[in-house]
Amino acid sequence: MTPSSKEAIAERLAEARLRTLELIQPLDDAQLNRVYSPLLSPLAWDLGHIANFEELWLVRTIGNREPLHGELGRFYDAIENPRKTRGELPILRDAELRSYLADVRERTLEVLDEIEIGPEAEDPLLRDGFVYELLIAHEQQHNETMLQLLMTVDGYEFDAGGGLRDAGDRSPGQMPVQLDRHFEYPPVRAIPRVPETVRIDGGSFEIGATAQEFAYDNERPRHLVELAPFEIDRTPVSNGAYAEFVEDTGAEPPMYWERDGDAWIRTAMGRRDPMDPDAPVVHVSWHEADAFARWAGKRLPTEQEWEAAHPDLQGAGHAWEWTCSDFLAYPGFEAFPYREYSEPFFGETYKVLRGASWATDRNVVRPSFRNWDLPRRRQIFAGIRCARDA
Ligand code: AVJ
Ligand code: FE
Protein backbone atom coordinates (compact mmCIF):
# COMPACT_ATOMS: atom_id res chain seq x y z
CA MET A 1 0.00 0.00 0.00
CA THR A 2 1.41 3.33 -1.02
CA PRO A 3 1.49 6.17 1.51
CA SER A 4 -0.95 8.13 -0.65
CA SER A 5 -3.65 5.48 -0.41
CA LYS A 6 -3.20 5.42 3.37
CA GLU A 7 -3.68 9.14 3.16
CA ALA A 8 -6.83 8.59 1.13
CA ILE A 9 -8.18 6.27 3.83
CA ALA A 10 -7.34 8.76 6.58
CA GLU A 11 -9.05 11.48 4.59
CA ARG A 12 -12.21 9.41 4.08
CA LEU A 13 -12.31 8.48 7.76
CA ALA A 14 -12.04 12.18 8.55
CA GLU A 15 -14.76 13.06 6.05
CA ALA A 16 -17.19 10.54 7.57
CA ARG A 17 -16.42 11.90 11.05
CA LEU A 18 -16.93 15.45 9.87
CA ARG A 19 -20.43 14.55 8.71
CA THR A 20 -21.20 12.86 12.05
CA LEU A 21 -20.08 15.95 13.93
CA GLU A 22 -21.99 18.25 11.59
CA LEU A 23 -25.17 16.30 12.28
CA ILE A 24 -24.89 16.85 16.03
CA GLN A 25 -23.37 20.32 15.86
CA PRO A 26 -26.70 22.13 16.49
CA LEU A 27 -27.46 19.99 19.57
CA ASP A 28 -26.45 20.30 23.21
CA ASP A 29 -25.47 17.44 25.53
CA ALA A 30 -28.98 17.15 26.96
CA GLN A 31 -30.34 16.57 23.45
CA LEU A 32 -27.65 13.98 22.76
CA ASN A 33 -28.62 12.07 25.90
CA ARG A 34 -32.36 12.41 25.51
CA VAL A 35 -34.50 9.41 24.62
CA TYR A 36 -36.83 10.80 21.97
CA SER A 37 -38.39 7.50 21.07
CA PRO A 38 -38.20 3.91 22.38
CA LEU A 39 -37.75 2.91 18.73
CA LEU A 40 -34.49 4.82 18.39
CA SER A 41 -31.26 5.09 20.36
CA PRO A 42 -30.29 8.35 22.04
CA LEU A 43 -27.70 10.05 19.82
CA ALA A 44 -25.05 9.61 22.54
CA TRP A 45 -25.39 5.84 22.11
CA ASP A 46 -24.85 6.00 18.34
CA LEU A 47 -21.82 8.23 18.84
CA GLY A 48 -20.24 5.96 21.46
CA HIS A 49 -21.10 2.91 19.36
CA ILE A 50 -19.41 4.46 16.29
CA ALA A 51 -16.24 5.08 18.34
CA ASN A 52 -16.40 1.69 20.05
CA PHE A 53 -16.80 -0.17 16.76
CA GLU A 54 -13.79 1.74 15.43
CA GLU A 55 -11.80 0.89 18.55
CA LEU A 56 -12.74 -2.79 18.28
CA TRP A 57 -11.69 -3.19 14.64
CA LEU A 58 -9.08 -0.56 13.84
CA VAL A 59 -7.34 -0.27 17.20
CA ARG A 60 -7.78 -3.56 19.07
CA THR A 61 -8.12 -6.12 16.24
CA ILE A 62 -5.73 -4.55 13.74
CA GLY A 63 -3.43 -2.74 16.18
CA ASN A 64 -3.49 -5.21 19.12
CA ARG A 65 -4.02 -2.41 21.62
CA GLU A 66 -5.93 -2.57 24.89
CA PRO A 67 -9.33 -0.86 25.05
CA LEU A 68 -9.42 2.66 26.52
CA HIS A 69 -12.41 1.92 28.77
CA GLY A 70 -12.18 -1.76 29.72
CA GLU A 71 -15.47 -3.59 29.34
CA LEU A 72 -17.44 -0.56 28.17
CA GLY A 73 -17.88 -2.19 24.76
CA ARG A 74 -20.64 -4.47 25.94
CA PHE A 75 -23.00 -1.51 26.35
CA TYR A 76 -22.44 -0.62 22.70
CA ASP A 77 -23.26 -4.09 21.43
CA ALA A 78 -26.35 -3.58 19.24
CA ILE A 79 -27.63 -7.13 19.71
CA GLU A 80 -27.15 -7.29 23.50
CA ASN A 81 -28.80 -3.90 24.06
CA PRO A 82 -32.20 -3.36 22.43
CA ARG A 83 -32.93 0.23 21.43
CA LYS A 84 -35.51 0.89 24.13
CA THR A 85 -32.90 0.13 26.86
CA ARG A 86 -30.08 2.28 25.53
CA GLY A 87 -31.02 5.49 27.33
CA GLU A 88 -30.43 3.82 30.72
CA LEU A 89 -27.05 2.25 29.99
CA PRO A 90 -23.89 3.53 31.71
CA ILE A 91 -22.55 4.77 28.37
CA LEU A 92 -20.14 7.68 27.89
CA ARG A 93 -21.70 11.10 27.80
CA ASP A 94 -20.82 14.75 27.27
CA ALA A 95 -17.09 15.69 27.37
CA GLU A 96 -16.05 12.08 28.04
CA LEU A 97 -17.91 10.92 24.95
CA ARG A 98 -16.28 13.58 22.78
CA SER A 99 -12.79 12.68 24.04
CA TYR A 100 -13.46 9.00 23.42
CA LEU A 101 -14.31 9.70 19.77
CA ALA A 102 -11.13 11.77 19.40
CA ASP A 103 -8.83 9.43 21.37
CA VAL A 104 -9.93 6.37 19.40
CA ARG A 105 -9.38 8.24 16.14
CA GLU A 106 -5.87 9.26 17.23
CA ARG A 107 -4.97 5.62 17.89
CA THR A 108 -6.61 4.51 14.64
CA LEU A 109 -4.29 6.82 12.72
CA GLU A 110 -1.25 5.54 14.64
CA VAL A 111 -2.16 1.96 13.74
CA LEU A 112 -2.88 2.87 10.10
CA ASP A 113 0.65 4.24 9.92
CA GLU A 114 2.17 0.94 11.10
CA ILE A 115 0.41 -1.64 8.97
CA GLU A 116 0.61 -3.02 5.44
CA ILE A 117 -2.53 -2.91 3.34
CA GLY A 118 -3.10 -3.59 -0.31
CA PRO A 119 -4.29 -6.20 -2.77
CA GLU A 120 -1.66 -8.70 -1.55
CA ALA A 121 -2.20 -8.25 2.19
CA GLU A 122 -2.29 -11.65 3.85
CA ASP A 123 -4.93 -10.74 6.41
CA PRO A 124 -8.31 -10.67 4.61
CA LEU A 125 -9.30 -7.81 6.91
CA LEU A 126 -6.53 -5.68 5.41
CA ARG A 127 -6.73 -6.87 1.82
CA ASP A 128 -7.78 -3.89 -0.29
CA GLY A 129 -8.28 -2.01 2.96
CA PHE A 130 -11.47 -3.99 3.70
CA VAL A 131 -11.67 -3.19 7.40
CA TYR A 132 -11.27 0.53 6.73
CA GLU A 133 -14.03 0.47 4.11
CA LEU A 134 -16.16 -1.36 6.67
CA LEU A 135 -15.56 1.30 9.30
CA ILE A 136 -16.26 4.19 6.95
CA ALA A 137 -19.50 2.55 5.79
CA HIS A 138 -20.48 1.74 9.38
CA GLU A 139 -20.21 5.35 10.50
CA GLN A 140 -22.13 6.50 7.40
CA GLN A 141 -24.90 3.99 8.05
CA HIS A 142 -25.20 5.18 11.63
CA ASN A 143 -25.47 8.74 10.31
CA GLU A 144 -28.67 7.62 8.61
CA THR A 145 -29.96 6.08 11.85
CA MET A 146 -29.14 9.34 13.61
CA LEU A 147 -31.12 11.22 10.97
CA GLN A 148 -34.12 8.99 11.67
CA LEU A 149 -34.01 10.30 15.20
CA LEU A 150 -33.26 13.89 14.15
CA MET A 151 -36.56 13.87 12.23
CA THR A 152 -38.28 13.96 15.62
CA VAL A 153 -36.18 16.80 17.11
CA ASP A 154 -38.20 20.01 17.06
CA GLY A 155 -36.44 22.88 15.33
CA TYR A 156 -33.52 20.75 14.19
CA GLU A 157 -31.83 22.34 11.17
CA PHE A 158 -29.20 20.94 8.90
CA ASP A 159 -26.01 22.86 8.51
CA ALA A 160 -26.44 23.80 4.87
CA GLY A 161 -22.70 23.91 4.26
CA GLY A 162 -22.23 20.58 5.96
CA GLY A 163 -22.34 16.93 5.13
CA LEU A 164 -25.73 17.10 3.45
CA ARG A 165 -24.24 19.57 1.07
CA ASP A 166 -27.15 19.84 -1.33
CA ALA A 167 -29.79 20.03 1.34
CA GLY A 168 -29.88 23.81 1.50
CA ASP A 169 -32.94 25.02 3.34
CA ARG A 170 -35.31 22.46 1.90
CA SER A 171 -37.42 20.31 4.12
CA PRO A 172 -36.45 16.63 4.24
CA GLY A 173 -39.41 15.68 2.06
CA GLN A 174 -38.09 17.87 -0.70
CA MET A 175 -34.45 16.83 -0.58
CA PRO A 176 -32.98 16.55 -4.04
CA VAL A 177 -32.31 13.01 -5.14
CA GLN A 178 -28.54 12.77 -5.19
CA LEU A 179 -27.36 10.32 -7.75
CA ASP A 180 -23.97 8.72 -7.83
CA ARG A 181 -22.06 6.38 -10.07
CA HIS A 182 -24.46 3.55 -9.26
CA PHE A 183 -27.65 5.52 -9.63
CA GLU A 184 -26.84 7.59 -12.62
CA TYR A 185 -30.25 7.77 -14.25
CA PRO A 186 -31.63 11.25 -14.72
CA PRO A 187 -33.06 12.56 -11.46
CA VAL A 188 -36.83 12.52 -11.55
CA ARG A 189 -38.21 15.94 -10.71
CA ALA A 190 -41.86 14.93 -10.59
CA ILE A 191 -42.95 11.35 -10.06
CA PRO A 192 -45.96 10.61 -12.32
CA ARG A 193 -49.12 9.70 -10.42
CA VAL A 194 -49.58 6.68 -12.70
CA PRO A 195 -46.09 5.36 -13.38
CA GLU A 196 -44.80 4.00 -16.65
CA THR A 197 -43.94 0.31 -16.36
CA VAL A 198 -40.87 -1.49 -17.69
CA ARG A 199 -41.11 -5.07 -18.93
CA ILE A 200 -38.20 -7.31 -18.03
CA ASP A 201 -37.94 -10.53 -20.02
CA GLY A 202 -37.44 -13.67 -17.98
CA GLY A 203 -34.07 -15.41 -17.89
CA SER A 204 -30.97 -15.78 -15.75
CA PHE A 205 -29.59 -12.81 -13.92
CA GLU A 206 -26.43 -12.40 -11.89
CA ILE A 207 -27.25 -11.18 -8.40
CA GLY A 208 -24.88 -9.97 -5.69
CA ALA A 209 -21.64 -8.05 -5.36
CA THR A 210 -18.75 -8.69 -7.73
CA ALA A 211 -15.56 -10.08 -6.18
CA GLN A 212 -13.58 -6.85 -6.61
CA GLU A 213 -15.77 -4.30 -4.87
CA PHE A 214 -16.29 -3.65 -1.18
CA ALA A 215 -19.53 -5.26 -0.03
CA TYR A 216 -21.02 -6.86 3.05
CA ASP A 217 -21.04 -10.63 3.48
CA ASN A 218 -24.82 -10.80 2.85
CA GLU A 219 -24.30 -9.52 -0.75
CA ARG A 220 -22.11 -12.53 -1.58
CA PRO A 221 -21.53 -14.84 -3.26
CA ARG A 222 -22.63 -13.46 -6.60
CA HIS A 223 -24.90 -16.10 -8.11
CA LEU A 224 -27.36 -16.76 -10.92
CA VAL A 225 -31.10 -16.62 -10.42
CA GLU A 226 -33.87 -17.52 -12.86
CA LEU A 227 -36.59 -14.90 -13.09
CA ALA A 228 -39.97 -15.21 -14.80
CA PRO A 229 -40.91 -12.21 -16.96
CA PHE A 230 -42.20 -9.28 -14.89
CA GLU A 231 -43.16 -5.64 -15.07
CA ILE A 232 -41.85 -3.04 -12.68
CA ASP A 233 -42.76 0.60 -12.28
CA ARG A 234 -40.11 2.93 -13.66
CA THR A 235 -40.65 5.33 -10.75
CA PRO A 236 -41.50 4.92 -7.08
CA VAL A 237 -44.93 5.62 -5.62
CA SER A 238 -45.51 9.36 -5.20
CA ASN A 239 -46.95 11.13 -2.18
CA GLY A 240 -49.91 12.09 -4.38
CA ALA A 241 -50.65 8.46 -5.29
CA TYR A 242 -50.28 7.42 -1.66
CA ALA A 243 -52.68 10.16 -0.55
CA GLU A 244 -55.29 8.70 -2.95
CA PHE A 245 -54.79 5.30 -1.34
CA VAL A 246 -55.16 6.76 2.14
CA GLU A 247 -58.31 8.63 1.16
CA ASP A 248 -59.78 5.61 -0.64
CA THR A 249 -59.10 2.99 2.03
CA GLY A 250 -58.84 4.92 5.29
CA ALA A 251 -55.29 3.61 5.75
CA GLU A 252 -53.02 5.46 8.19
CA PRO A 253 -51.09 8.26 6.48
CA PRO A 254 -47.28 7.92 6.44
CA MET A 255 -45.37 8.96 9.54
CA TYR A 256 -45.04 12.77 9.83
CA TRP A 257 -48.17 13.49 7.76
CA GLU A 258 -50.94 15.50 9.31
CA ARG A 259 -54.27 16.52 7.84
CA ASP A 260 -54.88 20.22 7.27
CA GLY A 261 -58.41 20.51 5.89
CA ASP A 262 -58.26 18.89 2.48
CA ALA A 263 -54.50 19.02 2.28
CA TRP A 264 -51.64 17.13 3.93
CA ILE A 265 -48.74 18.71 5.70
CA ARG A 266 -45.44 17.21 6.82
CA THR A 267 -44.51 17.70 10.42
CA ALA A 268 -40.95 16.30 10.72
CA MET A 269 -38.50 18.30 12.89
CA GLY A 270 -41.42 20.24 14.28
CA ARG A 271 -41.94 22.03 10.97
CA ARG A 272 -45.14 22.36 8.99
CA ASP A 273 -44.43 22.04 5.27
CA PRO A 274 -46.97 21.31 2.54
CA MET A 275 -46.69 17.73 1.34
CA ASP A 276 -45.18 17.58 -2.16
CA PRO A 277 -47.46 15.30 -4.24
CA ASP A 278 -44.76 14.77 -6.88
CA ALA A 279 -42.07 13.49 -4.50
CA PRO A 280 -41.67 9.80 -3.63
CA VAL A 281 -43.59 8.70 -0.54
CA VAL A 282 -41.36 8.03 2.51
CA HIS A 283 -42.02 6.63 6.02
CA VAL A 284 -44.36 3.75 5.28
CA SER A 285 -44.08 0.30 6.82
CA TRP A 286 -43.73 -2.90 4.81
CA HIS A 287 -47.35 -3.77 5.67
CA GLU A 288 -48.47 -0.42 4.27
CA ALA A 289 -46.28 -0.81 1.17
CA ASP A 290 -47.73 -4.26 0.57
CA ALA A 291 -51.29 -2.99 1.06
CA PHE A 292 -50.67 -0.10 -1.33
CA ALA A 293 -49.33 -2.45 -4.02
CA ARG A 294 -52.37 -4.71 -3.72
CA TRP A 295 -54.73 -1.72 -3.84
CA ALA A 296 -52.98 -0.66 -7.08
CA GLY A 297 -53.50 -4.18 -8.52
CA LYS A 298 -49.80 -4.94 -8.24
CA ARG A 299 -47.32 -6.41 -5.77
CA LEU A 300 -43.93 -5.52 -4.31
CA PRO A 301 -40.96 -6.70 -6.39
CA THR A 302 -38.67 -9.42 -5.10
CA GLU A 303 -35.20 -8.15 -4.27
CA GLN A 304 -33.82 -10.15 -7.21
CA GLU A 305 -36.29 -8.46 -9.57
CA TRP A 306 -35.25 -5.08 -8.19
CA GLU A 307 -31.56 -5.80 -8.75
CA ALA A 308 -32.14 -7.26 -12.23
CA ALA A 309 -34.20 -4.21 -13.25
CA HIS A 310 -32.02 -1.56 -11.57
CA PRO A 311 -30.56 -0.03 -14.78
CA ASP A 312 -34.12 0.78 -15.87
CA LEU A 313 -35.34 2.23 -12.57
CA GLN A 314 -35.64 5.96 -11.97
CA GLY A 315 -36.06 7.96 -8.82
CA ALA A 316 -34.17 5.48 -6.66
CA GLY A 317 -32.04 7.07 -3.97
CA HIS A 318 -34.73 9.21 -2.37
CA ALA A 319 -36.37 6.50 -0.28
CA TRP A 320 -35.39 2.89 0.35
CA GLU A 321 -37.78 0.57 -1.46
CA TRP A 322 -39.47 -2.29 0.35
CA THR A 323 -39.32 -5.63 -1.46
CA CYS A 324 -41.46 -8.69 -0.79
CA SER A 325 -38.31 -10.72 0.01
CA ASP A 326 -37.39 -12.03 3.44
CA PHE A 327 -33.78 -11.31 4.44
CA LEU A 328 -32.15 -14.66 3.66
CA ALA A 329 -28.58 -15.85 3.12
CA TYR A 330 -27.53 -16.25 -0.50
CA PRO A 331 -26.56 -19.83 -1.44
CA GLY A 332 -22.98 -20.40 -0.25
CA PHE A 333 -23.05 -17.48 2.21
CA GLU A 334 -20.02 -17.12 4.48
CA ALA A 335 -20.05 -14.73 7.44
CA PHE A 336 -17.29 -12.10 7.19
CA PRO A 337 -15.74 -10.43 9.09
CA TYR A 338 -18.03 -11.23 12.02
CA ARG A 339 -21.10 -13.40 12.44
CA GLU A 340 -23.29 -10.70 13.95
CA TYR A 341 -23.35 -8.31 11.01
CA SER A 342 -25.93 -10.30 9.01
CA GLU A 343 -26.46 -13.83 10.25
CA PRO A 344 -28.67 -13.23 13.32
CA PHE A 345 -31.14 -11.35 11.09
CA PHE A 346 -31.56 -14.04 8.43
CA GLY A 347 -35.01 -15.62 8.37
CA GLU A 348 -38.61 -14.59 7.99
CA THR A 349 -38.58 -11.79 10.56
CA TYR A 350 -36.93 -9.08 8.45
CA LYS A 351 -37.84 -7.77 4.99
CA VAL A 352 -35.28 -6.54 2.47
CA LEU A 353 -35.15 -2.94 1.25
CA ARG A 354 -33.21 -1.93 -1.87
CA GLY A 355 -31.81 1.32 -3.23
CA ALA A 356 -30.99 4.11 -0.82
CA SER A 357 -32.64 7.14 0.77
CA TRP A 358 -31.84 10.86 0.71
CA ALA A 359 -30.11 10.27 4.06
CA THR A 360 -27.83 7.50 2.79
CA ASP A 361 -24.27 8.52 2.11
CA ARG A 362 -23.57 7.86 -1.58
CA ASN A 363 -20.47 5.90 -0.57
CA VAL A 364 -22.65 3.04 0.66
CA VAL A 365 -24.98 3.03 -2.33
CA ARG A 366 -24.62 0.12 -4.78
CA PRO A 367 -27.08 -2.06 -6.71
CA SER A 368 -26.28 -5.16 -4.65
CA PHE A 369 -26.72 -3.46 -1.25
CA ARG A 370 -29.31 -5.18 0.95
CA ASN A 371 -30.89 -3.21 3.76
CA TRP A 372 -33.32 -4.95 6.09
CA ASP A 373 -35.83 -4.05 8.75
CA LEU A 374 -38.91 -5.24 10.59
CA PRO A 375 -42.08 -5.04 8.47
CA ARG A 376 -43.74 -2.70 11.00
CA ARG A 377 -40.96 -0.07 10.96
CA ARG A 378 -41.87 3.31 9.47
CA GLN A 379 -39.34 5.66 11.06
CA ILE A 380 -36.80 4.47 8.47
CA PHE A 381 -36.72 6.35 5.16
CA ALA A 382 -38.65 3.73 3.24
CA GLY A 383 -41.02 4.00 0.30
CA ILE A 384 -42.56 1.83 -2.40
CA ARG A 385 -42.12 0.69 -5.99
CA CYS A 386 -44.63 -1.74 -7.47
CA ALA A 387 -44.24 -4.69 -9.80
CA ARG A 388 -46.43 -7.40 -11.32
CA ASP A 389 -46.07 -10.69 -13.15
CA ALA A 390 -45.90 -10.17 -16.92
C1 AVJ B 1 -28.12 -2.56 7.55
C2 AVJ B 1 -29.14 -0.65 8.57
C3 AVJ B 1 -29.97 -2.85 9.04
O4 AVJ B 1 -28.51 -0.59 11.50
O5 AVJ B 1 -28.82 -2.68 11.99
C6 AVJ B 1 -25.07 -0.75 11.71
C7 AVJ B 1 -26.48 -1.49 9.74
N8 AVJ B 1 -25.03 -2.86 11.27
N9 AVJ B 1 -24.27 -1.35 12.59
C10 AVJ B 1 -28.41 -1.79 11.25
C11 AVJ B 1 -25.54 -1.70 10.88
C12 AVJ B 1 -24.23 -2.65 12.34
C13 AVJ B 1 -27.77 -2.23 9.93
N14 AVJ B 1 -28.75 -2.07 8.78
FE1 FE C 1 -23.45 -0.43 14.25
Give the nearest ligand 1 atom to 373 CA. 3
Give the model's pLDDT for residue 177: 34
Q: What is the DSSP letter of 98?
A: H
> How far away, in angstroms, is 263 Cα from ligand 2 center?
39
**In this model, does residue 283 exceed pLDDT 50?**
yes
Task: Tell me the pLDDT band of 120, cut-offs 50, 70 and 90.
Answer: confident
Mean pLDDT for the chain overall: 90
Q: Of the residues 141, 149, 370, which should be mutated to test ligand 1's pocket, given the most ligand atoms within 8 Å of the CB?
A: 141
For ligand 1, whether the C-beta of 138 sits within 6 Å is yes
Task: Give the DSSP per-residue string, 226-287.
Answer: EE--EEEESSPPBHHHHHHHHHHH-PPPPTTEEEETTEEEE-GGG--EE--TTSBP-S--HH
Task: Tell me the pLDDT band of 2, cut-offs 50, 70 and 90.
Answer: low
**In this model, does residue 172 exceed pLDDT 70?**
no
pLDDT digits (tens, 9 = 90+) for 193-239: 999 999 999 999 999 999 889 999 999 999 999 999 999 999 999 99
For ligand 1, whether the C-beta of 141 sits within 6 Å is yes
Distance in angstroms (rounded) separating the CA atoms of residues 268 and 285: 17
For ligand 1, whether the C-beta of 371 sits within 6 Å is yes
Q: Indicate which residue's Cα is closest to atom 3 of ligand 1.
A: 372
From residue 210, give the alpha-carbon distance in Å to each of 128, 323, 365.
Answer: 14, 22, 14
**In this model, does residue 366 exceed pLDDT 80?**
yes
User: What's the average model confidence in pLDDT over 331-347?
Assistant: 96
For ligand 1, whether the C-beta of 75 sits within 6 Å is no
Q: Would you say 218 and 330 are in contact if contact means Cβ atoms under 8 Å apart? A: yes
